[in-house]
Structure 1
Amino acid sequence: MATSAPAPTSPGALLLKKPVKIACIQLASGADKAANLAHARDKVREAASAGAKIVVLPECFNSPYGCDFFPSYAETLLPSPPTSEQSPSFHALSAMARENNIYLVGGSIPEQAPSKASSSSSNPDASKTYYNTSLTFSPTGALLASHRKVHLFDIEIPGKIKFKESDVLSPGNKVTIVTLPGYGKIAVAICYDIRFPELAMIAARRGCFALIYPGAFNTTTGPLHWRLQGQARAMDNQIFVALCSPARDLSAGYHAWGHSLVVDPMAQVLVEAEESETIVYAEIDGERIEEARKGIPLRDQRRFDVYADVSQGAVRFEENEE
């Protein structure tokens, strides 16, 4: 539910209540949605069998990534819960979480929603709005939160890459904070969202122990900034950061960078994949957050008399209740 911002976490609070194993599944997906969902189910089971209690899938895990694919793979999520016909991915993710007794950050899927556009438009898609949406489920299979990608991937690097998600997608409008009972709070955002430190800072000030980004950087931006962005958000906020990418498929139109990784509160990379399909794991412990914040006490040194606390102005965010 949407809510006004609570007070930021107090110094000394143990943000992660107990150690937990997190897994990022660097999934290889193709054009067959049903096959993608079945493959994701197998890999989630594998991660859970290895002891992971928080499992993350990549951006657009159920479909190819690209503006040409978003409308044809889009599913209706509202009102929630959707029927299995409206959203097979919703029900598949719910079952994966329930069957394996895990918290599941379900990467992202293309979402279709009604639009305010005139139904008389000659454009058959004018009556539809599309989002890039991440769903997080509890060990009982209940939906805990949904995040619509806030910052759309519109870039042009001459001679290398041009991509404009806004040709098809609309942006979300909130910071998404998810309470995982027994552990604490995480923030979920998607890919290009990581380039905007304000979103991460708000989540960290609200008491999150981790920032989780399903993402699909490409082979131009990936080697430049993928690891760097993960380390920067961890360093700025002194919490864990997990980035989960699709595996690279050179036969696809979009080449994902891969290199799923987990970064600790001192900005050290704990684990990093290469480009092929794999699962990377990390044991994360709240004491590492406290050690980082005691050693380099940014939380006590911020000068809000000089600059504003961005979390105080965050009027659009959503947090589920424990």
Structure 2
Amino acid sequence: MTSGIDLEANFFAVEEAAERAAQEGAQVLFTPEMSILLDSNRKRAADWIDDSSASWEVMEKLTNAATQNEIDIALGSMAVSASDGMWANRSMYFDHQCDGPVDPVTYDKIHMFDVDLTTGESWRESSAYKPGDQVVTVPDTPLGKLGLTICYDMRFPALFEALGQRQCDAIAVPAAFTVPTGKAHWHVLLRARAIEAQAFVIAAAQVGKHEDGRETYGHSLVVDPWGEVLLDMGGEGPGLGFCDIDLDRIKEVRGQLPSLANKREIPK
């Protein structure tokens, strides 16, 4: 996606993708970090984020989109109001078979993107967002057990080790990666995390020039447990990509290299 500051346009893109993906036979749609609103102007963004009724309305619409199209939606993330006047960068998994009220599985981004790049870009996610403190999995999806992470989390292997120890079959890594860090680290880190967790990694990414002035790297990836890149959507523009997942590959890789079972505690 190339999400911007128009919430309705962003939601329509997700809704349209869900419909198209379902028509092509997909069982799960993965979207990038901050799919619903990508706006570095926090004063402007606060008008919507701090309105809990607006956030709830989007969640209802996403629930309906999943149900009507009979496809699960792994929303990469959206900003929501949290406690103490802070926000949360929250992933949500919408099960299309859920018969009850709006109740997605949620994960709040643990690691805050606080960096100063040599390009002059400076980001302080922690100044507005409250970090999460829970490792979250979705136990029953068409992909098996799905672990949830967001973007900068990929630089912290302990989280992926925890998801691997929980026997996740796949891990979602939605992102809005900067161009310079993406060129240097995107592919190598995601391949490493897939190898370490011995799971599929599905990384839906923001791409291109956004209305708020930032530029993101793109290259939405699917990586298998051996570290092989099965899908790379490139960095040219938004679109919808498809990838078939063979869950037998997990057992094959873990049978050859049982590194999760072989792990020993390192003395401190």
* TM-score, normalisation: structure 1: 0.76
1:297 equivalenced with 2:254 (yes/no): no
Equivalent residue, structure 2, for 1:167: 127
Give 2:49's aligned amino acid.
A
Matches within 5 A, 1:118-197: 128-141=85-98, 142-181=102-141, 183-197=143-157
Distance in 2, matches of 1:90 and 1:292, equals 37
Q: Deviations over 1:127-168 (max 9, x none)?
A: x22111111110135534111111110011234421111121
| Higher radius of gyration, 1 or 2 | 1
Q: CA contact under 8 A between 2:174 and 2:205: conserved in structure 1?
A: yes
TM-score for the superposition, normalised by structure 2: 0.91
One-letter amino acid of the counterpart of residue 194, structure 2: A
Matched with 2:36 is 62
The equivalent residue for 2:158 is 198
- Measure the CA separation in 2 of the matches of 1:66 and 1:60: 11
Q: 1:246 Cα shift?
A: 1.5
Code of the aligned partner of 2:28: I
Whether the aligned pair in 2 keeps the contact of 1:161 and 1:220 (CA below 8 Å) is no
**1:220 matched to 2:180:** yes
Classify 1:76/1:190 alpha carbon distance in 2 versus 1 (closer, same or farther; 3 Å).
farther
Q: Is it true that 1:96 corresponds to 2:70 in the alignment?
A: no
1:250 Cα deviation from its structure 2 partner: 5.5
Letter in 2 for 1:301: N
Contact 2:177 2:206 in 1 (8 A): no
Q: Deviation digits for residues 38-88 of structure 1, max 9, x if unmatched?
A: 2210111111211111211111111124252542331566xxxxx5x4522
Residues 1:282 and 1:307: Cα distance change in structure 2 (over 3 Å): farther
One-letter amino acid of the structure 1 residue matched with residue 95 of structure 2: S
Name the counterpart of 1:267.
227
* Cα gap change, 1:179 to 1:222, in 2 (>3 Å): same
Q: Is the 8 A contact 1:97 1:103 kept in 2?
A: yes
Once residues 53 and 45 of structure 1 are traced to their aligned partners in structure 2, the CA distance between those partners, rounded to angstroms, is 11
**Matched positions, count:** 263
1:285 aligns with 2:252: no
1:111 and 2:111 correspond: no
**Kept after mapping to 2: 8 A contact 1:261/1:280:** no
Supply the distance in 2 between the matched residues of 1:44 and 1:303 (Cα, whole angstroms). Answer: 43
Q: Residue 36 of structure 1 aligns with which residue?
A: 10
**CA distances 1:179-228 after superposition (whole Å, capped 9, x unpaired):** 12565211111111111111111111111101101111011111111111
Alpha-carbon distance between aligned partners in 1 of 2:109 and 2:92, rounded to the nearest angstrom: 11
Which SS does the other structure have where 2:234 is aligned?
A: coil
Query: Structure 1 regions of 5+ residues with no counterpart?
Result: 1-26, 78-82, 116-127, 309-322
- Partners of 2:154 and 2:48 in 1: CA distance: 24
- Find the counterpart in structure 2 of residue 23 from structure 1: none
Aligned Cα RMSD in Å?
2.0
Structure 1 runs (4+) deviating above 4 angstroms are none
Which structure: greater helix fraction? 2
Contact 1:32 1:63 in 2 (8 A): yes
Q: Does the C-alpha gap of structure 1 residues 236 and 206 become closer, same or farther in structure 2, counting only changes over 3 Å? A: same
- SS of residue matched to 2:213: coil
Counterpart position of 1:258: 218
Matches of 1:34 and 1:86, distance apart in 2: 12
1:18 match: none
2:47 aligned partner: 72
Alignment CA distance shift 1:226-1:73 (3 Å): farther
The answer to whether the 8 Å contact 1:238/1:289 transfers is yes
Question: In the aligned structure 2, how far is the partner of 1:307 from the partner of 1:56?
Answer: 39
Change (3 A) 1:307 1:177: farther
